[in-house]
Amino acid sequence: MKIQGAVIKEQGITFAVAIVKHHITSSNHEADKVRGSLQGYFPGLPVVLASQDARGNFRYHGRTDLAKFLAGLHPSQIPWKEYTYS
């Protein structure tokens, strides 16, 4: 399976961000379930989920400090790449 994501190191914290469908970031239950399934891609890292609404606005779901940090960036500043996990 392939996902779009990034690993970011900021102020001594290394974490991951992964793009998911918008409805996932609307539900704590779904977000927690998906975040757990992404640990295979990003072992040991906190994972923040990112989604876009119909207007292209991003929403972040995860650790509050990390989600706020990401919300302060333009999405083009995130080093997105494709990750594959088998």
* Full DSSP string of the chain: -EEEEEEEEETTEEEEEEE--GGGGG-HHHHHHHHHHGGGTSTTS-EEEEEE-TTS-EEEESSHHHHHHHHTS-GGGS--EEEE--
For the chain, the domain total comes to: 1
At 1-46, the pLDDT tens digits run 899 999 999 989 999 999 999 999 999 999 999 999 999 899 999 9
Half-sphere exposure of 27 (CA within 13 A, CB side): 9
Centre a 10 Å sphere on the Cβ of residue 84 and count the other Cβ atoms it contains.
8
Least confident of 32-36, 45-49, 81-85: 81-85
Domain that holds residue 57: 2-84
pTM of the model: 0.93
CATH number where 57 lies: 3.40.1350
